[in-house]
Each structure stands twice: as C-alpha cells, then as structure tokens.
Structure 1
Amino acid sequence: MKNIKFYIISLLVGTLFCTIHYFIKVNNDHLECETIISTKVDKNGNEMVKKSHLCKEKYAF
C-alpha cells in the first residue's frame, strides 16, 4: 500500500512539473525583447563588442 501511494504521488509531481515547464516554454515568446549590440574601443585600440538582451516583459524566464 505504501508503494502505491508513493508511485501515485511521484506521478502527480512529475505531471505537475511537466505542465509548468510546458507552460513556461509556450508563453516565453520574447516578442517585446531586443538584443542591443554596442561596440567600444579600449585604450589599446582593441574593439570590444557587447551584446545585451533587453526585455520589456514583466517576467522573463
């Protein structure tokens, strides 16, 4: 009886985890995000490129 309860609880936790993971993947579309590329020359004359990901969304996973 203990093993059956353990398997059922494990199955429910696994299903919940997969559902939450799928929800995050589907809703994380990055439509309001942009990549900003800035270049800078340091004191040795080397050109440095910096890429930054800027999101206007409230939550970005």
Structure 2
Amino acid sequence: MKGGITESVEKYQSTTMSDFFRNCSVEERRAVYRSAANTAITMQKAVISLAKEKKSQEFNGN
C-alpha cells in the first residue's frame, strides 16, 4: 500500500556483554561501571605520574 507505515525490526547478534547488561540487576551494573571507572582513574593517574617524571627529568637535564 502506497504511503503505508511498515515496521522494520533490525536484529543484531548479541554479545555476552550486551546479554549481561540486558539481564543483570542494577547493583551488578553499578559494580561493573564502578570497576571500569576505577580502572580508568588508575590508568590516568599512571599517565600523569609518568608525564611528571619525564618533565622532571627534562628539567634536571637528564
């Protein structure tokens, strides 16, 4: 029918992680997000520390 509305449903192959987030509790999601955030913060601190160390070495002429 011309001008009719058709429904299209796109199906994506789900991954283990998307299945987890689809089926887990709020507490489990929060734990995963918190863990990811803590890991990112730790990595950022390491990068900042290395940058400061490198700048200090350049300043001291080493």
Query: Which TM bucket (shorter chain)?
Result: 0.3 to 0.5
State the structure with bigger RCO (CA 8 A, min sep 6), 1 or 2.
Answer: 1
Q: Normalising by structure 1, what TM-score?
A: 0.48
Larger-gyration structure (1/2): 2
Q: Normalising by structure 2, what TM-score?
A: 0.47
Tell me which protein shows more strand as a share of its residues. 1
Tell me which protein shows more helix as a share of its residues. 2
